[in-house]
Chain A
Amino acid sequence: MNLSLLFGALVLGLLTGGVYGVMASGLALTFGVMRIINVGHAALVITGAFISYEVFRHLHLDPFAGLVITMPLMFLIGVVLEVLFIRPLKTDREELSVLVTWALALALEGVLGYFFGTDLVQTTVSYGNSTFVVGGVHIADVYIYGFLLAIAAMAALAALLYRTNLGAAIRATMLNRQAAQLIGIDVERVSAISFGIGAALAGVGGTVYGIVNAFNPDSHYDLIGHLLVIVVLGGVGSMRGAFLAALLIICIQDITQVMISPDWADLSFFVVLTIMLVVRPQGFFGVRVREAT
């Protein structure tokens, strides 16, 4: 057993997992507040990747710096989408949301394809190839930056949720939507804002994704399966859970990929999911949800 290889895979898994964690936490937030599964979340991630790519290309801003543009823009997109397409869903919200968000994903893919074409692109930053060495293994710098960004985003999210009035309103809505409404919280507004935050987080993830991988409007298909599994694993309403689940599962995937084979790596994802569903269907941090009407 090649220890340095194992170590390298572990480090890689943690760093990449952090980025997936940010993406997944946006998904978890949306579910927690609105009880909807946004299968279009990956499409939002890719949208974020394209935005940061364009910002990089036309404004020559480093994508990390460009987040000052990408994030608010994604937030806005999220809010608009929520108000236009999700708020009108009055009945059977949970079930219909899957279909609506899928439709949004398709439409987003079409729009992105229309404006950017279907060629694969990548945000190739100049420092993209520089690495640092740890334990005898080379790790690209961008992975570290991405991970630090992920941590910062999660910290900012936690601060928002636990130290602001808005955050309190969000948490209240997550706990019990009707009760929150009764005590005067404008749950519709909170929903829109939460969706926007989710989109912004997707944008953060997308920015890093776009630096490390080549992507095109089609790329969301591959991504959504992973994100959904991560969120289920972590417990659908829990952002903390999503982040940790992402770290765990991406590590397992990377280690399997290196030590066994790439085929079984993908499968390991779903094996872990199955085990989880059998043993603890609510995920790591989820709570057995009483069906809200």
Chain B
Amino acid sequence: MTGSRPGWAKLRGCVVALAFCLAFPTLFPGSGVLNIALLTLMYVALASSWNILGGFAGYISLGVSAFFGIGAYSMGLILEHLIHMSGGYGPFALVPLAGLIAAVVAIPLGWVALRTRHAVFATATIAIMFVFQLLATNLSGITGGSAGLGYPVPTWTGDFYDKPFYYAMLVVAVVGVIIAWMVRRSGVGLGLLAIRDDEDKAEAIGVPTWSYKLVAFVLSAFVAGMVGAVYGYYTTYIYPQFVIDPLISIGAALMAFLGGSGTLVGPVLGALILEPAQLELGFHVNGQIYLILYGAVFLFVILLMPRGIVPSVGALIDSRRARRRGAPLAAPPPTQQPPTAEAVAR
């Protein structure tokens, strides 16, 4: 893994992918397709941001939905009470603000939740999610409670409607991936990976584990908040139990795992595969079978490809390359240990 050649190839790959995404709505203008593409991008963003804490540091957070919801509600409430804008392009400017609000809320929450270790942490994040769902429902004077909250509705017509939202979601997704990339390149990223390897050792060598985890948690929340804001605006009407939904967190986590948690491309790949599949499946398959299949796919992914597609495929390619070069086969692919910092930097 040397040299700048892989670096250039990757950059080229990113540019091509981005160009494709930008051209997508013109290539495939049907709004049904755009809707699926939009939701897929949503999960690209969510999975990538989840990955910052969940994949790099190994801390499974199921609180993503809470911040998604906070973003959605923030945007809706601002539009309802503070800044009256009519539907259109204007409200998009508020999206980063919604993300910021979510991030700010994440600070004290992370403060408390990160006092625990792995398994308990997951539970704490589940609790955070339920609390916000309750707050959203009970503070009905502000949030509209279970009657939900409405957004101003843009007057774009049928087929055009999805396009601005598609681009907005694309922007958020790109931002999410870039943030994940920047974290991984930085000292914080290495620290997180070290935490994943062995937290006590990391602490012992002076890694400020708690701060790093908090940074990851907050950044994750920031992206999730922005995604939530765009989504809320897209559906024009939000309810507590649908915007703050455990399935959103689980979905993001699953996609990151499928693609390869701890890598950059992994979550993106996972989202690209799973979200359209899920939507299509839901559309065509009877309810109970859908659940069984969903669970089965889940199990399949986790049991057979615990490292996810990208690392597994990567390892396969590596071992093939080694064999072709005639080099003695290296030690069996490191599937028994969590990926170290270098192995992950592909």
B-binding residues in A (CB < 8 A): 31, 35-37, 39, 85, 88-92, 94-96, 98-100, 102-111, 113-114, 118, 221, 225, 228-229, 231-232, 236, 263-264, 266-267, 270, 273-274, 277-278, 281, 289-291, 293
Interface contact A37-B294, CB-CB below 8 Å: no
Known A114-B288, A270-B130; contact A98-B299, beta-carbon cutoff 8 A: no
Sample of 28 A–B contacts (CB below 8 Å): A36-B119, A37-B119, A39-B126, A85-B303, A89-B302, A89-B303, A90-B306, A90-B336, A91-B336, A91-B338, A95-B58, A95-B59, A100-B303, A103-B302, A107-B291, A107-B292, A110-B291, A111-B288, A113-B291, A225-B127, A232-B124, A236-B119, A264-B138, A273-B127, A274-B112, A277-B113, A278-B115, A291-B198
B298 A225 Cβ-Cβ under 8 A: no
Residue B29 CB within 8 A of the other chain: no
B292 touches A35 (CB 8 A): no
B92-130 residues with Cβ-Cβ distance < 8 A to A are 112-113, 115-120, 122-124, 126-127, 130
Residues from chain B with Cβ under 8 Å of A108 in the complex: 295
Cα of A264 to Cα of B131 in the assembled complex, Å: 11
Contact across chains for A291 and B200 when beta carbons are under 8 A apart: yes
**A107 cross-chain contacts in B, Cβ below 8 A:** 291-292, 294-296, 298-299
Q: Which 3 A-B pairs have the closest CB atoms?
A: A107-B295, A110-B291, A103-B298
Contact A231 B123 (CB under 8 A): yes
Q: Within 8 Å CB of B59, what residues of A? A: 95
Q: How far is the CB of A83 from chain B (nearest CB, A)?
A: 12
B287's closest neighbor in chain A, by CB? A113
Q: A37-B122, A103-B295 are in contact. Are A293 and B198 (CB under 8 A)?
A: yes
- Count chain A CB atoms within 10 A of each CB in B199, B253, B299, B335 and give the residue with the most: B299
In the bound complex, what is the Cα–Cα distance between A36 and B288 (angstroms)? 27
Contact A102 to B127, CB < 8 A, known contacts A109-B291, A281-B116, A291-B200: no
Q: Report the nearest B residue to A117, measured CB to CB.
A: B288
Structural contact, A232 and B120, CB atoms closer than 8 A: yes
Judge if B257 is at the interface, Cβ distance under 8 Å: yes
Q: Which of A104, A105, A110, A231 has the most CB of B within 10 A?
A: A110
Q: Does the CB pair B302–A110 fall under 8 Å?
A: no
CB-nearest residue of chain A relative to B116? A281
Contact residue among A102, A267, A289, A293 (Cβ-Cβ distance under 8 Å from B138): A267
A92 touches B58 (CB 8 A): yes
Residue of B nearest to A37 (CB): B119
Q: Judge whether A281 and B335 touch: CB under 8 Å.
A: no
Chain A positions within 8 Å of B199 at CB level: 291
Residues in B whose Cβ lies below 8 Å from that of A110: 288-295
Residue among A100, A105, A221, A264 with the highest chain B CB neighbour number at 10 A: A100
Contacting residue for A99 out of B138, B254, B294, B335, CB 8 A: B254
Complex Cα–Cα for A224 and B336 (A): 31
Contact check, B250 vs A102: say whether CB atoms are below 8 A apart.
Answer: yes
How far does the alpha carbon of A278 sit from the alpha carbon of B112 in the complex, in Å?
6
B60 at the interface (CB under 8 A from A): yes
Partner of A102, one of B58, B289, B290, B298: B298
Give Cα A210 to B23, complex, Å.
55
Residues of B at the A interface (CB closer than 8 Å) are: 54, 58-60, 62, 112-113, 115-120, 122-124, 126-127, 130-131, 134-135, 137-138, 198-200, 246, 250, 253-254, 257, 287-296, 298-299, 302-303, 306-307, 335-338
User: In the complex the two chains form, what is the Cα distance from A64 to B122 in whole Å?
Assistant: 35
Q: Find A92's partner among B138, B287, B338 (CB 8 Å cutoff).
A: B338
Give the CA-CA distance A111 to B115 in the complex, in Å: 38
- A278: chain B residues within 8 A (beta carbon): 112, 115
B312 to chain A, nearest CB (A): 12
Q: Report the bound CA distance from A102 to B295 in whole Å.
A: 8
- CB-CB under 8 A from A264, the residues of chain B are 138
**Are A270 and B131 CB-contacts (below 8 A) given A89-B303, A231-B123?**
yes
Q: Determine the distance from Cα of A104 to Cα of B302 in the docked complex, in whole angstroms.
A: 12
Asked whether, in the complex, the Cβ of A100 is within 8 Å of the Cβ of B299, the reply is yes
Chain B residues whose C-beta falls within 8 Å of the C-beta of A103 in the assembled complex: 294-296, 298-299, 302
User: In the bound complex, do residue A99 and residue B302 qualify as a contact, i.e. CB atoms below 8 Å apart?
Assistant: yes
User: A229: which B residues are within 8 A, CB to CB?
Assistant: 123, 127
Instruction: List the A side residues contacting B120 at CB < 8 Å.
Output: 232, 236, 281
CA separation between A278 and B114, bound complex, in Å? 10
Task: Give me 4 other A-B pairs in contact (C-beta within 8 A), A88-B303, A92-B58, A103-B299 excluded.
Answer: A99-B60, A99-B250, A104-B295, A106-B291
How long is the Cα–Cα vector from A291 to B116 in the complex, in angstroms? Answer: 12
Chain A minimum-CB-distance residue to B201: A291
Contacts A99-B257, A99-B298, A110-B291 hold; do A281 and B115 have CB atoms under 8 A apart? yes
Which single residue of chain A is at the shortest CB-CB distance from B249? A102
Q: How far is the CA of A232 from the CA of B118 in the complex (A)?
A: 12
Chain B residues contacting A291 (CB-CB under 8 Å) are: 117-118, 198-200
**Alpha-carbon gap, A228 to B246, bound state (A):** 14
Check if B298 sits within 8 Å of A267, measured CB to CB.
no
Which of B120, B138, B337 lies at the interface centre, i.e. has the most chain A CB atoms within 10 A of its CB? B120
Q: Which residues of B contact A89 (CB under 8 A)?
A: 302-303, 306
What separation, in Å, do the CA atoms of A105 and B247 have in the docked complex?
12
Within the complex, the shortest CB–CB distance from B303 to chain A, in Å, comes to 5
Q: B residues within 8 A CB of A36? A: 119
A110 to B297, CA, bound (A): 13
Q: Report the nearest B residue to A231, measured CB to CB.
A: B123
Q: Taking the nearest CB of chain A, how far is it from the CB of B142, in angstroms?
A: 14
B119 touches A31 (CB 8 A): yes
A278 to B250, CA, bound (A): 26
Q: Please, which residues of chain B bring their CB within 8 A of the CB of A293?
A: 198
A216 to B336, CA, bound (A): 40
Nearest Cβ in chain A — how far from B222, in angstroms? 22
Q: Are A98 and B122 in contact (CB under 8 A)?
A: yes
Contact A91 B291 (CB under 8 A): no
